[in-house]
Chain A
Amino acid sequence: MKNKLSHFAIPYVVWMALFVVAPIIMVVVYAFSAAEGGFTLANFARMGTYTVVFTRSFKLAIIATLVCLLIGYPVSYMMSKEGPRFQRIAMVLIMLPMWMNFLLRTYSWMSILENNGLLNQLFQKIGLIALYNSIFGTDIQFFRMMNTQGAVVLGMVYNYLPFMILPIYSVIVKLDNSLIEAARDLGADTFNVFRRVILPLSLPGVLSGITMVFVPSVSTFAISKMLGGGTEMMLGDLIEQQFLGGAYNPQLGAAISLVMMIIVVVCMVVMNRFGEGEEQAVML
């Protein structure tokens, strides 16, 4: 179909070709080539050594996504039930941390979670650590919170929670109130109104929220590096090392990226199948 406006799309097409399609092609080419050139599958064969990193990455990303969902859904739901003034303020509060630099926010968590950081000082003050020692017969000075998987998950949840809340909230707030009244009229109590009307109709928002939290979580390297202290290496760190770090091997890095990309895409497709029949999830 010829549209007289179609030439306005040309810059976008060029942009996409340059910055989306070309890099993907380069990743594919690199993944299948040896360091000295020529086709090889050796990069994929070497990946077996890193299975533990793959599992850890997906495990932490899944946990972070679930936690975001468990916090994000009720928050979105309750927010949508409040007045417009409350909704505006809540929205600003949710967005506020995002106006600050991502690294800065994560650094501040470091100083909160450190062995003699804010949280441990607080625990000391209120006697929580003494209480713990007297109960368990231990003699610790602080809780070790930094450089744990828990800290990494916390960092992910903190950074990506708004991406879960926003899509869910925007779907719920647009729900037609007469649908809820209709369900009540037809004999549904509060629980059934939620389960049979609100929940299925908000599924598109949930799916795009999951996508928007899971994808950056599984590929993050800054959070795991800063809060995990390098001991909890994730896929992002591994890839970074291949390109910038001491283990310089861009071919292997490309292969890992490719595999990760494929796994993520497969996950997303399967999940969207799940929500099929509902409106298609908004992939952002």
Chain B
Amino acid sequence: MSKELIRLRDLCMAYDNEPVLNNINLYINDKEFLTLLGPSGCGKTTTLRIIGGFVTPTSGDVLFDGVRINDVPPYRRQINTVFQKYALFPHLNVFENIAFGLRMQRRPDPSDPTGKKQVKIPEEEIRERVMEMLEVINLKGFEHRKPDALSGGQQQRVAIARALVNRPKVLLLDEPLGALDLKLRKDMQIELKRIQQQVGITFIYVTHDQEEALTMSDTIVVMDKGSIQQIGTPEDIYNEPKNAFVADFIGESNIIDGVMVRDRVVKMYGREFPCLDGGFAENEPVDVVIRPEDIDIVPVEQGQLTGTVTNVTFKGMQYDIIVDFRGFKWLIQTTDHSPVGARIGIKIDPDGIHVMKKSSYSGMFGDYSSFSEEYDELDDASLALDEEESEDEE
């Protein structure tokens, strides 16, 4: 087990008496890839900025290697940041951008026995380390380019190199892939993970993109409304969501009201389903999460439940089918085609059923009855946008 590097203790933050973080408690291990995941306004960026030293928390402590660093300015922390819009210095070329941090550094003079004299890093060493970094990010030969002569992905990698060249113990990344197109984003996800493993330091990554979080992280911290909802590995978060918010935010899920009859038996739609969960009170009301891909379509007579198909969308790898079960619409992802209007039966394996305690999020997410309308609305929105644009041109 690796050792703990950063700990956030009872961290609270408020802007103008408006709380944005409530009692954040979190520890981050050395060499870990940790992601703060949540919708916009959940406090993830504020948490990152507190760790980076750009914001002072209202109360609570930030510990680095066991030392409280609340009041340590950013330039004295062994932490570097990759900013959302890269923030490369436009007046410096790639080489100088990456060398910036090294030129700022002073360290004890090795020839001075008292160790008090501070000297700059020699030019040869700067050159060596910048070149080494350019190799890590695959941008050798670009050192004389200005940032505006680089593509978004290249600028991104320069920003990462500029931070990493200082050999920080922790790299903070604030939605660094947000401005890239989908294909590049996928490539960069793998690239980032590779870089993290190559340099072997802690990455703290902020994103609202659940897929990004699942792909790269060792640990995911799901946040909402300034509080941590769940901490766990990607598998934990996906397979065992702690409440309806996490289940809804990470992937697609059908969230159904149920009652825990006894250990390993949950009742939905008046029927008992075998499951793997336990530890609830007898007849305790619960939220049941069933992932769309965990549902098997079977002939009506073999089904645990029967419903009517109301909508089918072809998604390439699978069909997204909306099925009406007594007025509550489910999303089912399947490779088998079922026509709209067909009566079908479904079967759910015990390990496909996840039971959660009721929380303040219960009942907030509804069913998939708005599924098709959502697409319509999106179409309308893009249409309206087109009209506006054409007006501008005139």
Contact = CB atoms under 8 A, between A and B. Distances in A.
Interface size grouping (class) on chain A: 10 to 19
Interface in A175-227: 176, 178-179, 181-189, 192, 196-197, 200-201
Interface string B24-40: 00000000000000000
A181 B90 contact: no
A84 interface: no
A198 to B, nearest CB: 11
B91 A185 contact: no
B105 interface: yes
A197 B104 CA distance: 12
A200 B52 CA distance: 25
Contacts of A186: 75, 80, 100-101, 104, 162-163, 166
A277 interface: yes
* Residue in B74, B79, B84, B88 with the greatest tally of chain A CB atoms within 10 Å: B74
Contacts of B105: 187
B83 to A, nearest CB: 5
B85 interface: yes
A167 B80 CA distance: 33
Interface in A142-192: 176, 178-179, 181-189, 192
Nearest to B54: A181
B73 interface: yes
Contacts of A200: 91
A186 to B, nearest CB: 4
B75 A196 contact: no
Contacts of B73: 184
B81 interface: yes
B199 interface: no
B141 to A, nearest CB: 20
B87 interface: yes
A201 B162 CA distance: 19
B54 A189 contact: no
Contact of A187 (B87, B88, B166): B166
B286 to A, nearest CB: 45
B52 A183 contact: no
Contacts, number: 59
Interface in B50-64: 52, 54
Contact size class for B? Answer: 20 to 34
A187 B104 contact: yes
A170 B140 CA distance: 37
Contacts of A196: 100
B89 interface: yes
Contacts of B75: 184-189
A184 B162 CA distance: 13
Which residue, B80, B88, B90, has most C-beta atoms of chain A within 10 A? B90
Nearest to A200: B91
A185 B81 contact: yes
Nearest to A182: B87
Interface centre among A178, A200, A277, A278 (most CB of B within 10 A): A178
A151 B229 CA distance: 70
A179 B104 contact: no
Contacts of B100: 183, 186, 188, 196
A192 B80 contact: no
Contact of A181 (B83, B88, B89, B104): B83
A192 to B, nearest CB: 6
Given A186-B162, A187-B166, A179 B89 contact: yes
A184 B52 CA distance: 10
A187 B91 contact: no
A189 B85 CA distance: 22
B87 A179 contact: yes
Interface in B99-139: 100-101, 104-105
- Which of A183, A186, A189, A196 has the largest count of B CB atoms less than 10 A from its CB? A186
Interface string A76-107: 00000000000000000000000000000000
A222 to B, nearest CB: 39
The 4 A-B pairs with the shortest beta carbon distances in the complex, nearest first, are A187-B104, A186-B101, A178-B87, A182-B87
17 contacts: A178-B84, A178-B87, A179-B87, A181-B74, A181-B83, A182-B87, A184-B74, A184-B75, A185-B52, A185-B81, A185-B163, A186-B101, A187-B105, A192-B104, A196-B100, A197-B89, A277-B91
